[in-house]
C-alpha cells in the first residue's frame, strides 16, 4: 500500500507546543490541540477572536510591537509574553512567529515556560537579595545607587544614604544563640522597612550592617530626621526566647553629590560618619 501524508492538522495536534494561525488583524484562524492544554480554551471558543484579547494587559503593548516586527519580515524565535488562562491564572509563553505574506497569515508556535520563568525569577531574587532577611544585598544596592545617580543627574537634585550598624547585636548571639540572632536580624529588617518609604531601598550588606537608599531625601537635615525615626524604632525592646532585648544603632549619612559622586565614595563616607557617630556615643558624659 502506498503511504499518504495525513492532514497537516492531525500532525500539528501531536505537537506539545501550541500552534496558532492568525489573520492580518490578529484573529485566530486555527489552533492545534495543545492550545487547549496550555490556555484552557477549546478551538471553537477562540476561532475568530483577537489573540490580543488573551494577552496579559501589561504585555499587550510589547506584544503588538513584536507582531508588527513579524509582519515587517522579521522572524521572531524567542519572544516571551504572558497570557491569561481561561481559569484566570497567568501563563508564560515563549514564541516563534513568522508572517507569510502570500497567505496573509501569521503563524506562531508557543511553548509554555511558566515553570522556567518561576525558576528564573527565583534565581534572580537569590542573586540580588539577602537570603536571611529578603532585603537587597550589596550587589543590588550598588546597582540601585548607580540608578539613583543617573536619575539625580537628570533631575538636578540629590539623594541620601543611611549606613546603619547595630550596637549590641553580638550580645544577643551570646545570650540566646545564633538562631535567635538570625530572628533578631529579621525583626530589625521588618522595623526598618516599615520606617521608610515604598520607593526607598533597604539592603543588608553585612552581619549587622544595613544601608537605606533614600532617593527622595535631598539634604542632610531631612536624612537626619529619617535616621532619628529609624533609631527610635530599633531602640524599642525586641523579644528573645529568654526575654526582652534592647538594641541601639549607629547611623551615618552621605548625600549625593556633596559627599560623593559614585557608589564607592558615598558608601565610604556613610561608613565613616557611622563610625564617628558610634565613637561619639561611646564617649563618657
Is there a contact between 145 and 214 (Cβ–Cβ < 8 Å)?
Answer: no
Q: Is residue 166 part of a domain?
A: yes
Whether 200 and 88 map to the same domain: the answer is no
Which strands sit side by side in the sheet containing 90-100, from one edge to the other? 28-31, 18-23, 105-112, 90-100, 76-84
In this prediction, residue 243 carries a pLDDT of 86
Whether 146 and 246 map to the same domain: the answer is yes
Among candidate residues 59, 91, 118, the one where a domain is terminated: 118
Structural domain range at position 168: 129-282
Q: Is residue 7 part of a domain?
A: no
Among candidate residues 118, 143, 166, the one where a domain is terminated: 118
Nearest CA to 29 out of 15, 13, 14, 50 is that of 50
Whether 97 and 211 map to the same domain: the answer is no
Whether 176 and 67 map to the same domain: the answer is no
pLDDT in tens, 64-118: 999 999 998 887 788 999 999 999 999 999 999 999 999 999 999 999 999 999 9
Whether 163 and 233 map to the same domain: the answer is yes
What average pLDDT does the chain have? 92
Residue 230 predicted with pLDDT over 70: yes
Whether 98 and 40 map to the same domain: the answer is yes
Q: Is residue 6 part of a domain?
A: no
Q: CA 203, CA 163: separation in Å to the nearest integer? A: 10
Whether 254 and 209 map to the same domain: the answer is yes
Whether 99 and 158 map to the same domain: the answer is no
In this prediction, residue 285 carries a pLDDT of 36
Among candidate residues 118, 140, 175, the one where a domain is terminated: 118
Q: Is residue 24 part of a domain?
A: yes
Q: Is residue 5 part of a domain?
A: no
Residue 176 predicted with pLDDT over 80: no
Q: Is residue 62 part of a domain?
A: yes
Q: CA 144, CA 10: separation in Å to the nearest integer? A: 52
* 245-258 average pLDDT score: 94
In this prediction, residue 197 carries a pLDDT of 95
Whether 111 and 138 map to the same domain: the answer is no
Residue 248 predicted with pLDDT over 50: yes
Whether 108 and 150 map to the same domain: the answer is no
* 199-219 average pLDDT score: 95
Q: CA 42, CA 194: separation in Å to the nearest integer? A: 47
pLDDT in tens, 16-55: 999 999 999 999 999 999 999 999 999 999 999 999 999 9
Quote the pTM value: 0.78
Q: Which of the 8 DSSP states describes residue 275?
A: H
Whether 159 and 268 map to the same domain: the answer is yes
Residue 236 predicted with pLDDT over 80: yes
Is there a contact between 186 and 210 (Cβ–Cβ < 8 Å)?
Answer: no
| CATH number of domain containing 190 | 3.30.70.270
Q: Is residue 31 part of a domain?
A: yes
Structurally, the chain folds into a number of domains equal to 2
| CATH number of domain containing 101 | 3.30.450.20
* 139-143 average pLDDT score: 96
Q: Is residue 80 part of a domain?
A: yes
Cell 539634604 belongs to residue: 219
Alpha-carbon dihedral sign for residues 192, 180, 128, 267: positive
Count other C-beta atoms under 10 Å from residue 206's C-beta. Answer: 12
Whether 260 and 164 map to the same domain: the answer is yes
Amino acid at each position: 500500500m502506498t503511504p499518504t501524508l495525513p492532514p497537516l492538522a492531525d500532525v500539528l495536534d501531536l505537537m506539545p507546543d501550541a500552534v496558532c494561525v492568525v489573520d492580518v488583524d490578529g484573529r485566530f484562524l486555527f489552533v492545534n490541540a495543545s492550545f487547549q492544554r496550555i490556555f484552557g480554551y477549546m478551538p471553537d471558543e477562540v476561532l475568530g477572536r483577537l489573540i490580543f484579547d488573551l494577552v496579559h494587559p501589561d504585555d499587550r503593548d510589547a506584544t503588538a510591537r513584536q507582531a508588527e516586527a513579524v509582519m515587517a519580515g522579521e522572524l521572531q524565535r524567542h519572544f516571551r509574553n504572558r497570557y491569561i488562562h481561561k481559569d484566570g491564572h497567568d501563563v508564560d509563553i515563549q514564541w516563534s512567529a513568522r508572517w507569510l505574506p502570500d497567505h496573509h497569515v501569521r503563524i506562531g508556535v508557543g511553548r509554555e515556560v511558566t515553570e522556567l520563568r518561576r525558576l528564573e525569577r527565583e534565581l534572580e531574587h537569590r542573586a540580588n537579595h539577602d537570603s536571611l532577611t529578603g532585603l537587597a544585598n550589596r550587589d543590588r544596592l550598588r546597582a540601585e545607587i548607580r540608578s539613583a545617580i543617573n536619575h539625580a543627574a537628570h533631575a538636578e537634585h540629590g539623594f541620601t544614604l543611611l549606613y546603619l550598624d547595630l550596637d549590641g547585636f553580638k550580645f544577643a548571639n551570646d545570650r540566646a544563640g545564633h538562631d535567635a540572632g538570625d530572628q533578631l536580624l529579621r525583626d530589625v529588617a521588618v522595623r526598618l522597612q516599615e520606617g521608610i518609604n515604598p520607593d526607598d531601598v533597604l539592603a543588608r550588606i553585612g552581619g549587622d550592617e544595613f544601608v537605606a537608599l533614600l532617593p527622595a531625601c535631598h539634604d542632610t537635615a531631612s536624612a537626619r530626621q529619617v535616621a532619628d525615626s529609624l533609631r527610635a524604632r530599633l531602640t524599642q525592646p525586641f523579644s528573645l526566647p529568654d526575654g526582652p532585648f534592647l538594641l541601639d544603632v549607629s547611623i551615618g549619612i552621605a548625600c549625593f553629590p556633596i559627599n560623593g559622586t559614585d557608589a564607592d565614595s558615598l558608601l565610604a563616607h556613610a561608613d565613616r560618619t557611622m563610625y564617628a557617630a558610634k565613637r561619639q556615643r561611646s564617649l563618657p558624659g
